[in-house]
Amino acid sequence: MAGRVIHDDKGEHYGVITVHEALEHSSDVAAVKLALKIGPDHFYQYIRDFGFGSRTGAEMPGETRGLLRPVNRWGSSSIGSIAIGQEVGVTPIQLATMVSTIANGGIYLPPRVLLPGQTDGTTNGKTPGAPQPFKPGGDLPNPLPTGAHRVLSTLTAAQMRKMMEGVVLYGTGKAAQLNGYSSGGKTGTAQKIDPATHLYSKTMHIASFAGIAPVNNPVISVAVVIDNPKGGSYYGAAVSAPVFAEVAQQVLEYLAVPHDIDLRPARASAKPDKPVVEDASEHTGDINALYAAVNDLPADDPLRGGSQDALRTPATQALSQPAAVQSQSTAQPANAAANAVPLQQQTPATVTIADGKTLRVPSLIGLPVRKVIEQAAAAGLEVQITGSGTVREQAPAPGAMVAPGTKIVVRCGR
Tens of pLDDT, residue by residue over 108-154, are 999 988 755 544 444 444 444 444 444 555 677 788 888 999 999 99
DSSP letter for each residue of 204-221: EEEEEEEEEESSSS--EE
The alpha-helical segments, DSSP class H, found in 176-328 are 236-239, 241-254, 287-296
CA distance 117 to 132: 8
pLDDT of res. 287: 58
Which of the residue ranges 77-86, 207-216, 280-289, 383-392 has the most confident prediction, judged by mean pLDDT?
Answer: 207-216
Write the pLDDT tens digit of every residue in 36-45.
999 999 999 9
CATH 3.90.190.20 fits 347-413, yes or no: no
Q: Please tell me the predicted confidence (pLDDT) of residue 336.
A: 32
Domain range summary for the chain, segments of one domain joined by +: 5-116+134-310, 347-413
Q: Confidence class of residue 359 from pLDDT cuts 50, 70 and 90?
A: confident
The whole-model pTM stands at 0.65
Q: Alpha carbon of 294 to those of 114, 197, 211, 291: distances in Å? A: 30, 17, 29, 5
Least confident range from 163-167, 276-280, 284-288: namely 276-280
CATH number of 5-116+134-310: 3.40.710.10
